[in-house]
Amino acid sequence: MLDQVMETEPAPLSLLEKAAKVLGAFEGAEPRLSLTEVVRRSGIPRSSAHRILDQLVQLRWLDREGRDYRMGMRMLELGALASHHNRLRRAALPLLHALHEQTGQLVHLSVLDGAEVVCLERIGGSEATTVPSRVGGRMPAYSTASGKAILAFSDPDTVERVLAQGLRPRTPRTLVRPLALRSELAATRERGIAHDREESFRGICCVAAPLRGAGRAIAAVSVSSCRGERELARLAPAVLACARAVWRELYGPGRAGRAAGAPPQDQEPAVSARAMDNMMGWLRFSEWM
């Protein structure tokens, strides 16, 4: 009989599950909740709920106004960034599949996070098993074609932050001198295409094009190949065409022809750099990626 009772008892909630229940209490129509209301909605004991609420306020997930709590800026930032990334991936996915079909090679969609690029999508090819990449995986921006494609069309401060963290060799061909990387980024701006000539992994070359209009790059499309540098020249036009098609799918035609400067609010992702840092830092901490 005791064994039957023990089998039916639910396992105790983890701290993460308790925090999720506390945050879930704010799903209703009321923007502000008291501690008592949070306890009633979440089912979490009062003492535990109070500790979790205080921690969430410190982390900016929630704000406190007197005795009431409401969703904080980080929640809004995460929601905006998740919406943007979902939109980017949805717009890109059919075109990434088409690029894979056209080239027969491994295709990636990546964004920049600090000094690293993060893979949002990976479409495998015949050589997919030889390229050690994964969705959510991270690589140094300076050694990847995608990273260089984005850095070439980023603000100077972003490039300086990457250089400040150091350029460590991943292979004998990695660019480890700041002057060499600056020259490579300048060449990328001229041709609109970035290259990885076995700089991240031995035997793997890559070509990437930035997703951009007249301003900064928001992401990059890349194709990887184990067939050497000569393959990059053949793949480059298709990669560039795909990146431009994804941008048009996101923001419509004519964007590239506008003068450089601040874009209209309805045509640029409405996500601040701080929101990007918050989101990526949280993902890195939680090991979702």
pLDDT number for residue 85:
67
Question: From CA 145, how far away is CA 143, in angstroms rounded?
Answer: 7
pLDDT number for residue 125:
58
pLDDT number for residue 260:
38
Q: Contact at 8 Å (CB) between 224 and 208?
A: no
Q: Contact at 8 Å (CB) between 72 and 60?
A: yes
pLDDT number for residue 82:
63
Task: Please report which residue ranges of the chain form alpha helices under DSSP H.
Answer: 2-8, 15-24, 35-42, 46-58, 73-103, 145-151, 156-164, 178-191, 230-251, 273-286
The predicted model scores a pTM of 0.64
CA separation, residue 278 to residues 18, 23, 73, 79, 266 (Å): 22, 18, 10, 11, 23
> What's the distance, Cα to Cα, between the start and end of the chain in Å?
44
Contacts of residues 197-202 at CB distance under 8 Å and 24 or more positions apart, as own/partner, are 197/173, 197/229, 197/232, 198/171, 198/173, 199/143, 199/144, 199/170, 199/171, 199/173, 199/174, 199/175, 200/139, 200/140, 200/143, 200/144, 200/170, 200/171, 200/174, 201/131, 201/132, 201/170, 201/171, 202/171
Positions in the chain whose pLDDT score sits under 70: 1-10, 28-29, 76-85, 125-129, 253-289
Residue that is written with structure tokens 């260089």 in the block: 148
Nearest in space to 62 (alpha carbons), one of 49, 51, 75, 50: 75
pLDDT number for residue 254:
53
Question: From CA 275, how far away is CA 262, in angstroms rounded?
Answer: 18
pLDDT number for residue 140:
94
pLDDT number for residue 277:
45
